[in-house]
Amino acid sequence: MNGILGKKLGMTQLFSDEGRVIPVTVVEAGPCLVVQRKTNKTDGYEAVQLGLVEARPPRKVTQPRAGHFAKAGVAPTRRLMEFAVTADSEAKAGDEVKVTIFEADEYVDVTGTSKGKGFQGVVKRYGFGGGRATHGSMFHRAPGSIGMSATPSRVLKGKRLPGQMGAKRITVKNLKVVKVDEENNLIYLRGAVPGANNSYLALRKSTRG
Protein backbone atom coordinates (compact mmCIF):
# COMPACT_ATOMS: atom_id res chain seq x y z
CA MET A 1 0.00 0.00 0.00
CA ASN A 2 1.42 3.37 -0.99
CA GLY A 3 -1.27 5.78 0.24
CA ILE A 4 -3.67 6.65 3.03
CA LEU A 5 -6.41 9.14 3.89
CA GLY A 6 -6.15 11.62 6.72
CA LYS A 7 -7.22 14.94 8.24
CA LYS A 8 -5.13 18.06 8.71
CA LEU A 9 -4.91 19.01 12.38
CA GLY A 10 -2.73 22.11 12.09
CA MET A 11 0.87 23.34 12.14
CA THR A 12 3.45 23.32 14.89
CA GLN A 13 7.22 23.01 15.19
CA LEU A 14 9.74 20.37 16.20
CA PHE A 15 13.42 20.63 17.05
CA SER A 16 16.11 18.64 15.27
CA ASP A 17 19.02 16.97 17.04
CA GLU A 18 21.11 20.04 16.17
CA GLY A 19 18.57 22.35 17.81
CA ARG A 20 17.11 23.75 14.60
CA VAL A 21 13.41 24.57 14.38
CA ILE A 22 11.47 22.47 11.84
CA PRO A 23 8.01 23.77 10.83
CA VAL A 24 5.69 20.76 10.50
CA THR A 25 2.07 20.02 9.66
CA VAL A 26 0.37 17.42 11.85
CA VAL A 27 -1.88 15.03 9.94
CA GLU A 28 -4.10 12.38 11.53
CA ALA A 29 -3.57 9.62 8.96
CA GLY A 30 -5.91 6.67 9.21
CA PRO A 31 -6.73 4.15 10.28
CA CYS A 32 -8.36 3.28 6.97
CA LEU A 33 -10.28 0.22 5.83
CA VAL A 34 -10.21 -1.34 2.38
CA VAL A 35 -13.80 -1.06 1.14
CA GLN A 36 -13.28 -2.43 -2.38
CA ARG A 37 -10.53 -4.11 -4.37
CA LYS A 38 -10.61 -3.28 -8.06
CA THR A 39 -8.81 -5.46 -10.61
CA ASN A 40 -8.11 -5.47 -14.33
CA LYS A 41 -10.49 -8.35 -14.78
CA THR A 42 -13.51 -6.70 -13.15
CA ASP A 43 -12.86 -2.96 -13.49
CA GLY A 44 -10.11 -2.54 -16.07
CA TYR A 45 -7.49 -1.22 -13.63
CA GLU A 46 -5.78 -2.10 -10.35
CA ALA A 47 -6.73 -0.06 -7.27
CA VAL A 48 -8.11 -0.20 -3.76
CA GLN A 49 -10.87 1.98 -2.36
CA LEU A 50 -10.09 3.19 1.16
CA GLY A 51 -12.50 4.56 3.74
CA LEU A 52 -11.27 6.81 6.55
CA VAL A 53 -12.33 5.62 10.01
CA GLU A 54 -13.29 8.58 12.22
CA ALA A 55 -14.23 8.96 15.87
CA ARG A 56 -17.76 10.04 14.86
CA PRO A 57 -19.16 7.77 12.14
CA PRO A 58 -21.83 9.13 9.76
CA ARG A 59 -25.34 9.08 11.22
CA LYS A 60 -27.23 8.85 7.94
CA VAL A 61 -26.19 6.58 5.07
CA THR A 62 -28.11 6.09 1.83
CA GLN A 63 -29.25 2.55 1.00
CA PRO A 64 -26.92 2.11 -2.02
CA ARG A 65 -23.97 3.36 0.02
CA ALA A 66 -24.92 1.16 2.99
CA GLY A 67 -25.09 -1.85 0.69
CA HIS A 68 -21.64 -1.03 -0.69
CA PHE A 69 -20.13 -1.09 2.80
CA ALA A 70 -22.14 -4.16 3.85
CA LYS A 71 -20.72 -6.09 0.89
CA ALA A 72 -17.22 -5.36 2.17
CA GLY A 73 -18.20 -6.16 5.75
CA VAL A 74 -17.03 -2.81 7.13
CA ALA A 75 -18.73 0.10 8.89
CA PRO A 76 -19.79 3.09 6.74
CA THR A 77 -17.36 6.01 6.44
CA ARG A 78 -17.75 9.59 5.24
CA ARG A 79 -14.71 9.74 3.00
CA LEU A 80 -13.73 7.32 0.24
CA MET A 81 -10.80 7.50 -2.15
CA GLU A 82 -8.99 5.19 -4.53
CA PHE A 83 -5.28 4.45 -4.53
CA ALA A 84 -3.47 2.63 -7.29
CA VAL A 85 -1.83 -0.71 -6.46
CA THR A 86 0.09 -3.32 -8.41
CA ALA A 87 -1.54 -6.43 -9.83
CA ASP A 88 0.24 -8.66 -7.31
CA SER A 89 -1.10 -6.70 -4.31
CA GLU A 90 -2.78 -8.92 -1.71
CA ALA A 91 -5.04 -6.16 -0.39
CA LYS A 92 -8.67 -7.23 0.05
CA ALA A 93 -11.89 -5.79 1.45
CA GLY A 94 -11.78 -5.43 5.22
CA ASP A 95 -8.00 -4.97 5.52
CA GLU A 96 -6.79 -2.15 7.76
CA VAL A 97 -4.25 0.43 6.61
CA LYS A 98 -2.35 2.44 9.23
CA VAL A 99 0.13 5.28 9.28
CA THR A 100 2.94 2.73 9.73
CA ILE A 101 3.14 2.38 5.93
CA PHE A 102 5.25 5.57 6.15
CA GLU A 103 8.63 5.97 7.78
CA ALA A 104 10.62 8.97 8.96
CA ASP A 105 12.87 10.66 6.39
CA GLU A 106 10.91 9.43 3.36
CA TYR A 107 8.97 11.74 1.04
CA VAL A 108 5.23 11.92 0.33
CA ASP A 109 2.85 13.76 -2.00
CA VAL A 110 -0.13 15.40 -0.29
CA THR A 111 -3.40 16.15 -2.10
CA GLY A 112 -6.15 18.35 -0.66
CA THR A 113 -8.56 21.20 -1.38
CA SER A 114 -7.05 24.64 -0.91
CA LYS A 115 -8.73 27.32 1.19
CA GLY A 116 -11.45 29.18 -0.70
CA LYS A 117 -10.89 32.95 -0.86
CA GLY A 118 -13.89 33.95 -2.93
CA PHE A 119 -13.88 36.35 -5.89
CA GLN A 120 -10.58 38.24 -5.95
CA GLY A 121 -8.87 40.77 -8.19
CA VAL A 122 -5.65 40.35 -10.11
CA VAL A 123 -3.45 41.91 -7.40
CA LYS A 124 -4.33 39.25 -4.83
CA ARG A 125 -5.05 36.43 -7.26
CA TYR A 126 -1.92 36.71 -9.41
CA GLY A 127 0.31 39.20 -7.60
CA PHE A 128 0.00 42.07 -10.09
CA GLY A 129 1.91 45.16 -8.99
CA GLY A 130 -0.90 47.64 -9.64
CA GLY A 131 -0.56 51.26 -10.67
CA ARG A 132 0.90 54.31 -8.95
CA ALA A 133 -0.67 55.33 -5.67
CA THR A 134 0.29 59.02 -5.80
CA HIS A 135 -0.01 62.25 -7.81
CA GLY A 136 -3.67 61.94 -8.72
CA SER A 137 -3.39 58.48 -10.25
CA MET A 138 -6.72 56.72 -10.70
CA PHE A 139 -5.14 53.42 -11.70
CA HIS A 140 -4.41 51.35 -8.57
CA ARG A 141 -5.48 47.69 -8.63
CA ALA A 142 -6.89 47.33 -12.15
CA PRO A 143 -5.50 44.71 -14.59
CA GLY A 144 -4.85 47.21 -17.39
CA SER A 145 -5.27 46.36 -21.07
CA ILE A 146 -6.65 42.86 -21.66
CA GLY A 147 -6.31 42.66 -25.45
CA MET A 148 -6.09 44.38 -28.83
CA SER A 149 -9.07 46.15 -30.39
CA ALA A 150 -8.85 45.30 -34.11
CA THR A 151 -6.87 42.05 -34.08
CA PRO A 152 -7.89 39.60 -32.73
CA SER A 153 -10.87 41.62 -31.42
CA ARG A 154 -11.32 39.33 -28.46
CA VAL A 155 -9.78 38.43 -25.11
CA LEU A 156 -7.34 35.56 -25.55
CA LYS A 157 -8.08 32.37 -23.64
CA GLY A 158 -6.11 32.02 -20.43
CA LYS A 159 -5.82 35.76 -19.79
CA ARG A 160 -5.23 36.43 -16.09
CA LEU A 161 -8.33 38.25 -14.86
CA PRO A 162 -10.31 38.59 -11.61
CA GLY A 163 -12.24 35.49 -10.57
CA GLN A 164 -12.68 32.70 -8.04
CA MET A 165 -9.55 32.13 -5.97
CA GLY A 166 -8.77 28.95 -4.04
CA ALA A 167 -11.07 25.98 -3.33
CA LYS A 168 -9.16 23.88 -5.86
CA ARG A 169 -7.62 20.44 -5.73
CA ILE A 170 -3.93 20.96 -5.00
CA THR A 171 -1.06 18.46 -4.77
CA VAL A 172 2.13 19.39 -2.93
CA LYS A 173 4.97 17.03 -3.81
CA ASN A 174 8.04 15.79 -1.98
CA LEU A 175 7.22 16.70 1.61
CA LYS A 176 9.59 15.06 4.05
CA VAL A 177 8.21 12.86 6.83
CA VAL A 178 9.78 14.16 10.04
CA LYS A 179 8.07 11.87 12.53
CA VAL A 180 5.48 9.07 12.66
CA ASP A 181 3.40 8.56 15.82
CA GLU A 182 1.94 5.06 15.47
CA GLU A 183 0.09 5.14 18.80
CA ASN A 184 -1.93 8.26 17.94
CA ASN A 185 -2.08 7.74 14.13
CA LEU A 186 -0.19 10.98 13.52
CA ILE A 187 2.35 11.90 10.88
CA TYR A 188 4.46 15.06 10.97
CA LEU A 189 5.28 16.54 7.55
CA ARG A 190 7.87 19.26 6.98
CA GLY A 191 6.23 22.43 5.61
CA ALA A 192 2.65 23.33 4.76
CA VAL A 193 -0.07 21.30 3.08
CA PRO A 194 -3.19 22.54 1.24
CA GLY A 195 -6.50 23.09 3.01
CA ALA A 196 -7.86 24.35 6.29
CA ASN A 197 -7.63 22.56 9.62
CA ASN A 198 -9.84 19.43 9.81
CA SER A 199 -9.94 19.16 6.01
CA TYR A 200 -9.38 15.79 4.33
CA LEU A 201 -6.06 14.90 2.73
CA ALA A 202 -4.66 12.06 0.66
CA LEU A 203 -1.06 11.03 1.29
CA ARG A 204 0.91 9.01 -1.25
CA LYS A 205 4.51 7.85 -1.27
CA SER A 206 6.45 10.12 -3.58
CA THR A 207 7.90 8.63 -6.74
CA ARG A 208 10.41 11.47 -7.23
CA GLY A 209 11.57 12.13 -3.70
| Alpha helix (H) residue ranges in 42-96 | 63-72
Residue 127 confidence (pLDDT) = 95
3-state secondary structure of 172: strand
Residue 25 confidence (pLDDT) = 95
**Residues 96, 107 contacting (CB under 8 angstroms):** no
CA neighbours closer than 13 Å in the CB half-sphere of residue 6: 31
Torsion of CA 55, 59, 63, 69, to 10 degrees: 10
Q: Which domains does the chain have, with CATH numbers?
A: 3-116+171-205 (2.40.30.10), 117-165 (no CATH)
pLDDT digits (tens, 9 = 90+) for 99-129: 989 998 899 999 999 999 999 999 999 999 9
**Residue 203 burial (CB count, 10 A):** 27
3-state secondary structure 175-198: EEEEEEECCCCEEEEECCCCCCCC
pLDDT digits (tens, 9 = 90+) for 21-42: 999 999 999 899 999 898 898 8
Sign (positive or negative) of CA dihedral 140, 146, 148, 150: negative
DSSP annotation of 99 reads G
Question: Both ends of the chain: CA-CA distance in Å?
Answer: 17
Q: What tens-digit pLDDT sequence spans the chain (209 residues)?
A: 888 999 999 999 999 888 899 999 999 998 999 998 988 988 899 999 999 998 888 888 999 999 999 988 889 999 999 998 888 888 888 888 899 899 988 999 999 999 999 999 999 999 999 899 999 999 999 999 898 888 888 999 999 999 999 999 999 999 999 999 989 999 999 999 999 999 999 999 998 76
> Largest alpha-carbon pair distance within the chain?
72
Nearest CA among 8, 3, 208 for reference residue 112: 8
- Which pairs count as long-range contacts for 168-172, CB under 8 Å and 24+ apart, including other chains? 168/113, 168/114, 169/111, 169/112, 169/113, 169/114, 170/111, 170/112, 170/113, 170/114, 170/194, 170/195, 171/109, 171/110, 171/111, 172/109, 172/110, 172/111
pTM of the model: 0.84
3-state secondary structure of 47: strand
**Residue 30 burial (CB count, 10 A):** 23
Residue 209 confidence (pLDDT) = 62
